[in-house]
């Protein structure tokens, strides 16, 4: 049934609302592409906004500094090295000055964007990837490994590229996935990038191990024709948007481990435009953006039934052709902004930012809506991922002034190990998993003791004003009581952050142990 009367429930995101930017904070007079390809046509990072544009005799896109709002100069320089229309553009998640583009000319190109203002067209890419035989419609960067790029073409192949190569022209991808017999419509990674979800034009959703090139799960559900598919963070679930058997727009929720039957089906309306899904794993909020209409619906995802809880809908009279989202590290946390879209409105040659805001009275940092989030540093190298390692993203705090400190607890360096004869040399230099685990536990416990020894010396964990909360006389006045209360609140906050860092470190060590077991099992 269609969700005409959604069920409401208590949530701190119950009153999230969308706020469109004022006219002077929009990007005006932008020649947005007329292509009918089902892509976003736009990509954003904290420094630039890139948008596919109209170009005679080839394909081009614009790269505009994020703060350069207002009317765009009609002679503004372009990136125009493709011989066919540009179909997709994506910023490197670990380098805000590198962008990838793919085109109808069957190539993928990597571009370095200068830090100074563009003064002339850029026509020469840093790297050119020549592997597809037909037009390339999709590209995706790996979420945790540096310089790993996936490309999907109308030759029904998905190619994996290692951009660490020094060559400027790459013709041989490191891996080719050829399990599909039709065009791939959508690709999505899980959190650590070990799995890839695919929506294909043959009406099937597939879950693939990209390194082993094997299909782990396949959904062939006749009541749903998927166009887009999305991993829901660590929920162990997939979400797809598409068309129902009655030609209504539909969202469907799947169990990652069993794609035979969906967990939930919900029809939205009878419009014909594509639905773009966006998921925020920090707040567990799902945003559904309709192509050709101005609405943005948003929901809250829960691990148990009913799974999907409707929150609200942002409405606008200006229909969007494409849309992009700002990474969390580019948001205005002082305004309680939890998500930001950039809408392409070709009827007005306009790019309009829309901020999703949690209404709060306090002007202080709202820690409950800004947990540690994905930062701008890779968790591993391209070769480590190709060798079989899995690592989750490095997390950062969005607190103003906290800096790009990742959430993994920085343990002090251990003493240099004493060289001892290796009793396992007969096994090719590898220790058995049990001994490796024991040594890892000993090293971790030593580091843990060192951290605990350091904590008492850190001014007894006292606040910045030097007031010692452990050895202080009881308050005698109301002001002293209030001061102590605020200091204890700050201390509690810092201890919570420390606990969160410990939890993240524990999970990281568990993943490393599992990778060690898998690695030793291969030999």
CA dihedral 445, 447, 452, 458 (to 10 degrees): 180
With a cut of 50, say whether residue 332 has pLDDT above it.
yes
Specify the DSSP element, H or E, that contains 309: strand 308-314
Collapsing DSSP to helix, strand or coil, 282 comes out as coil
Q: Average pLDDT of 113-127? A: 91
Per-residue pLDDT, 355: 97
Alpha carbon separation from 268 to 226, 277, 345, 466 (Å, rounded):
14, 13, 23, 57
Closest Cα partner for 61 from 370, 351, 275? 351
With a cut of 90, say whether residue 223 has pLDDT above it.
no
User: CB within 8 A of 120, min separation 6: which ones?
Assistant: 77
Q: How far is the C-alpha of 345 from the C-alpha of 318, rounded, in Å? A: 7
Q: pLDDT tens across 242-298, in order?
A: 999 989 999 999 999 999 999 999 999 888 889 999 999 999 999 999 998 899 999
With a cut of 60, say whether residue 44 has pLDDT above it.
yes
Q: Which residue has the tokens 């790009």?
A: 404
Per-residue pLDDT, 377: 94
Q: pLDDT tens across 366-422, in order?
A: 889 999 999 999 999 999 999 999 999 999 999 887 755 443 333 333 333 333 344
Per-residue pLDDT, 462: 39
At residue 474 the predicted structure's pLDDT band, cuts being 50, 70 and 90, is: low
Per-residue pLDDT, 55: 80
User: CB within 8 A of 295, min separation 6: which ones?
Assistant: 289, 313, 314, 315, 316
User: pTM for this structure?
Assistant: 0.76
Q: How far is the C-alpha of 381 from the C-alpha of 390, rounded, in Å? A: 11
DSSP track, 108-170: EEEEEPPSSPP-S-B---SEEE---SS-EEEEEE-SSBTTEEEEEETTS-EEEEETTSS-SEE
At residue 513 the predicted structure's pLDDT band, cuts being 50, 70 and 90, is: confident
b or e along 47-65 (b: 16 or more beta carbons within 10 Å of the residue's beta carbon)?
A: ebbbbbbebeebbbbbbbe
Q: How far is the C-alpha of 275 from the C-alpha of 458, rounded, in Å? A: 52
Contact of 308 with 328, CB cutoff 8 Å:
no
Q: Average pLDDT of 77-84? A: 92
At residue 117 the predicted structure's pLDDT band, cuts being 50, 70 and 90, is: confident
Per-residue pLDDT, 428: 38
Sign of the torsion angle spanned by Cα atoms 305, 311, 317, 321: negative
Specify the DSSP element, H or E, that contains 337: strand 337-345
DSSP track, 396-434: E--STT--S-BSS--PPPPPPPPP---TTGGGTT---HH
Q: How far is the C-alpha of 292 from the C-alpha of 345, rounded, in Å? A: 9
Contact of 385 with 148, CB cutoff 8 Å:
yes
- CATH topology for 17-374 is Methylamine Dehydrogenase; Chain H (2.130.10)
Q: How far is the C-alpha of 519 from the C-alpha of 510, rounded, in Å? A: 14
Of the ranges 50-59, 185-194, 322-331, which one carries the lowest mean pLDDT score? 50-59
The DSSP output letter for 368 is G
With a cut of 60, say whether residue 351 has pLDDT above it.
yes
Distance separating the N- and C-terminal Cα atoms of the chain: 53
Q: Which percentage of the chain shows pLDDT scores above 90?
A: 62
Query: What ranges do the domains of the chain cover?
Result: 17-374
Per-residue pLDDT, 208: 96
The DSSP output letter for 474 is P
Collapsing DSSP to helix, strand or coil, 338 comes out as strand
Q: pLDDT tens across 479-492, in order?
A: 677 777 777 877 78
DSSP track, 172-227: --SEEE---SS-EEEEEE-TTSS-EEEEETTS-EEEEETTTTEEEEEE--TTEEEE
Alpha carbon separation from 300 to 34, 243, 249, 274 (Å, rounded):
34, 22, 19, 21
């Amino acid at each position: 049934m269609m969700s005409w009367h959604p069920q409401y429930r208590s949530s701190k995101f119950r009153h999230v609302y969308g706020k469109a930017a004022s006219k002077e904070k929009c990007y005006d007079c932008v020649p947005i592409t007329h292509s009918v390809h089902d892509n976003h046509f736009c990509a954003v990072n904290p420094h630039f906004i890139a948008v596919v544009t109209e170009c005679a005799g080839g394909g081009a896109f614009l790269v505009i500094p994020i703060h350069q709002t207002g009317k765009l100069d009609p002679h503004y320089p372009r990136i125009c090295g493709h011989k066919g229309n540009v179909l997709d553009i994506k910023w490197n998640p670990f380098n805000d000055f590198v962008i990838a583009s793919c085109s109808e000319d069957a190539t993928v190109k990597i571009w370095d964007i200068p830090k100074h203002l563009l003064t002339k067209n850029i026509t020469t890419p840093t790297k050119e990837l020549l592997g597809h035989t037909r037009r390339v419609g999709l590209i995706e960067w790996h979420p945790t490994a540096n310089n790993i790029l996936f490309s999907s073409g109308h030759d029904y192949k998905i190619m994996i590229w290692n951009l660490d190569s020094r060559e400027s022209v790459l013709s041989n991808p490191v891996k080719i996935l050829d399990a599909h017999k039709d065009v791939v419509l959508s690709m999505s990674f899980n959190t650590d990038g070990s799995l890839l979800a695919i929506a294909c034009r043959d009406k099937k959703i597939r879950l693939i191990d990209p390194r082993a090139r094997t299909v782990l799960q396949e959904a062939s559900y006749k009541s749903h024709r998927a166009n887009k598919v999305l991993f829901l963070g660590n929920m162990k679930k997939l979400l797809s948007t598409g068309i129902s058997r009655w030609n209504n727009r539909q969202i469907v929720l799947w169990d990652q481990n069993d794609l035979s039957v969906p967990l939930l089906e919900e029809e939205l309306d009878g419009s014909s435009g594509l639905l773009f899904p966006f998921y925020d794993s920090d707040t567990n909020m799902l945003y559904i953006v309709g192509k050709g209409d101005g609405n943005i619906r948003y929901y809250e995802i829960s691990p148990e039934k009913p799974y999907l809880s409707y929150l609200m809908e942002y409405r606008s009279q200006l229909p969007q052709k494409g849309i992009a989202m700002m990474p969390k590290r580019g948001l205005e946390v002082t305004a309680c902004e939890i998500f930001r879209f950039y809408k392409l409105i070709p009827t007005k040659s306009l790019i309009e930012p829309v901020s999703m805001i949690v209404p709060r009275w306090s002007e202080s940092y709202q820690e409950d809506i800004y947990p540690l989030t994905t930062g701008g540093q890779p968790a591993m190298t391209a070769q480590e991922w190709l060798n079989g390692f899995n690592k989750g993203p490095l997390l950062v705090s969005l607190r103003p002034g906290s800096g790009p400190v990742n959430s993994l607890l920085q343990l002090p360096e251990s003493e240099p190990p004493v060289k001892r004869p290796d009793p396992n040399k007969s096994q090719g230099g590898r220790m058995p998993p049990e001994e490796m685990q024991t040594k890892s536990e000993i090293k971790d416990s030593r580091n843990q003791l060192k951290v605990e020894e350091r904590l008492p010396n850190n001014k007894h964990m006292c606040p910045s004003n030097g007031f010692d909360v452990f050895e202080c006389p009881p308050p005698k006045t109301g002001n002293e009581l209030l001061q102590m209360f605020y200091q204890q609140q700050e201390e509690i906050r810092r201890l919570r952050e420390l606990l969160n860092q410990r939890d993240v470190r524990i999970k990281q060590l568990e993943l490393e142990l599992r990778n060690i077991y898998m690695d030793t099992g291969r030999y």
